[in-house]
Amino acid sequence: MIKFAIWGYLKQNFIKKFIKIVVAVIVVLVSLQAGILIFVQFPKVQTWLAHKAVNAVSNNINGKISVGKVYYVFFNKLIVKDISVVSTDQTPFLDSLKSARGYSDTLMAVDKLSVNLHISDLLKGEIKLNKIVVNGGEFNLQTEADRRSNLDRIFKLDKNKVKDTSASAPNLLANTLLVKNFRFTMKNHTRYRFKGDNIINFADLDVRDININISDVHLKSDTLYACINRIAGEDKSGMALVNLSGKARISGKEVMVGDFYLQDKYSVINSKYFYMKYSSSKDFSQFTQKVELGLNMEDSYLNFQTIGKISPSLADSRLAFFIDGEVRGPVRDLRSNNLVVTSESGNSFLDFKVRMQGLPDISRTMAVVEVRNSSTTFKDIASIVASINNIPRNKALAALAPGEKFAYRGTLTGLVDDFVIDGKVLSNKGNCDIDLLFRNERKYGSRFHGSVSMDNVNLGYIINKGILGETTADTRLNVLFRRGGGMEIDVDTVSVKNIYLYGYNYSGIEGKGVYSDREFEGSLVSNDPNFKFSFDGRVSLKENFLNGAEYDFRALLSYANLSALNIDMHN
């Protein structure tokens, strides 16, 4: 991805100048060979001529271009060793960047460059290269002052200068481009903030072991075409690009990659296409706001260990899922109308539309999700919640409603670990209207706080207690699924219209209280026609019911029809 961004920035300036340098070197060699063919076949003579050419170019830049040895073999192969472009400017400001921020005088260095070319095509204004091989080297792009880079300063590039578009670029064709063991660094001292040794920092990139295999490179008008067979490399943070491939088309306004494939250590993205659209290369200086992205994923797999390399708050997360659908927009404002996410187990899925504002800082990214359809189980929910924090699965949550599928339709609004759930839960065991705040509390666990309205929900099936049955009730509650296991239920208010218990439908029950660790403390009032009852106090069942249980309460039984309640069938 970095390569595409850099290409758009360099294409109209540095590449043109660099091509002129290469052409100057080659033309000098070719012209003299035409006259003194045998003489210039000696490598020392070719090297001397190349030095003369690059020295002439060096006089026009704020730097020095150097080459080691040059070999031009059999009129179709050029080998150049030890190429470098180094800044010659010395100022207190540049010296401070080198000492404090690790900046380098070297813009570019190449250990060995091998090019197969046809001189006759070059003289016609065409560059036809059979094979380009870059063995070893580095490229250091560094922001210095006033958003200008070392590249701008060394080559005297003026971003405000109106470019001459009347002159056509030479036709470029290359069968194969191979880059081996290369290094790329990018530093921006104005935006640098330490995020952690294992978090990728786009203001301090250091990508090593870069290997590139590109074929069928050709330039038509202002558009570059190429088949990317593989791009790989690893940043010092441990963020690694295992493979990037696709069919690329790059112009002054757009980067388009068809059959896009991206793989790192944890995730795999397959897409029909990936694109970046921009008005000019200047937009890359404000990439997250001004560059429009597009991605159409198919059978892709996203693991939050990838995102954790970008966002420190998710560094420990192990959440992962399969994803299909299209995403568009700048990084700061991504949106999709047709995403489908499936859990690793395959037992949960979400079909939804979404808008996310605030990336790449995912901990502060606000999302609005509209869920059209979904399906899950409590067991899978427990696994998903556990994977977010990389902790053991909560057994109490996983044991609820074994095997039962639940569907959710509604909205999710908020941050990735702090959001509002507002919608309807549907199942064969009853329906619920919910308005809950979910908060991932790292020290304590996962908390749900809000209101739930149940419509004929079979509580007995959900909590695996056969004495209970269908329940219709409204409640405000606060539920904590603890990080170490177990749960705590704090009921602010509950109003039960009906609840099935031991074969009888109770009604007119109001209450509040807290249940935690098999202990209940609260109050309960029943105005059922057959059961007039009030309770206020604490009941602890932490030990055996008859041995070690604790009770501290006041209760008043005004009336009870034991026969109607199916407790005592005698009259």
- Return the pLDDT at 452: 95
Report the share of the chain in percent with pLDDT over 70: 83
Q: What is the pLDDT of residue 487?
A: 82
Q: What's residue 383's pLDDT?
A: 93
pLDDT digits (tens, 9 = 90+) for 69-80: 888 776 678 888
Over the stretch 88-143, which tens digit does the pLDDT of each residue have? Answer: 999 999 999 999 989 999 999 999 999 887 666 555 556 677 889 999 999 999 99
Report pLDDT digits (tens) over 5-54. Answer: 444 444 455 555 555 555 555 555 555 455 444 444 555 555 555 555 66
pLDDT at 11: 47
pTM, full prediction: 0.79
The Cα–Cα gap between 348 and 339 comes to 14
pLDDT for the residue 59: 75
What single-letter DSSP state applies at residue 426?
E
| pLDDT mean by block of 10 residues, the chain; 571 residues | 45 54 53 48 54 65 87 77 92 92 94 80 64 94 88 82 55 83 94 87 93 90 91 96 96 94 97 93 80 95 91 85 96 94 95 92 89 94 87 85 92 92 94 93 86 92 83 94 83 94 92 89 94 92 62 90 82 56
What string of DSSP letters covers 168-181?
PPPEEEEEEEEEEE
Distance CA 254, CA 223 (A): 9
Residue 506, burial from CB neighbour count under 10 angstroms (0-12, 13-18, 19+): buried
DSSP one-letter string for 123-170: HTTEEEEEEEEEEEEEEEEEE-STT-BHHHHHTT--TTSPP--SSPPP
